[in-house]
């Protein structure tokens, strides 16, 4: 079970965007794409078949999953995540500091 999932609100803990918050757009292995974080400029050629104009396009690049922490709205900061196994065999993500469930 992944500790970070698509749609989660995260805080960046390292790099040029340290301290910023954003929502996870996608998770691919050990890398995540976070909205409005790690913006890069991509120089692209125009592609008339796809209707894509050329020029300099700004978009989000992926960052390593170890550089983000899940945001806890109760405490107002990023916190570590643990996995708790329930009696019926399901797994539940919980905040390590308080033990409260993430997916309530």
What's the whole-number mean pLDDT along residues 62-82? Answer: 94
The model's pTM: 0.83
Long-range CB pairs of 15-24 (<8 Å, 24+ gap) are 15/63, 15/67, 21/71, 24/68
At residue 58 the predicted structure's pLDDT band, cuts being 50, 70 and 90, is very high
Give the tokens for residue 4. Answer: 């970070």
> Residue 2's pLDDT is what?
83
At residue 65 the predicted structure's pLDDT band, cuts being 50, 70 and 90, is very high
Give the tokens for residue 27. Answer: 């998770």
Give the tokens for residue 45. Answer: 């050629």
Largest CA distance in the chain: 56
Give the tokens for residue 99. Answer: 């033990």
Query: How many residues are recorded in the chain?
Result: 104
């Amino acid at each position: 079970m992944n500790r970070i999932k698509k749609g989660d609100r995260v805080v960046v803990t390292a790099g040029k965007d340290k301290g910023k918050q954003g929502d996870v757009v996608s998770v691919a292995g050990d890398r995540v794409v976070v909205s409005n974080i790690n913006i890069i400029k991509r120089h692209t050629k125009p592609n008339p078949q796809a209707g894509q104009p050329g020029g300099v396009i700004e978009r989000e690049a992926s960052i390593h999953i170890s550089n983000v922490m899940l945001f806890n709205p109760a405490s107002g900061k990023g916190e570590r995540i643990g996995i708790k196994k329930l009696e019926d065999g399901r797994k539940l993500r919980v905040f390590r500091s308080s033990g409260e469930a993430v997916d309530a």
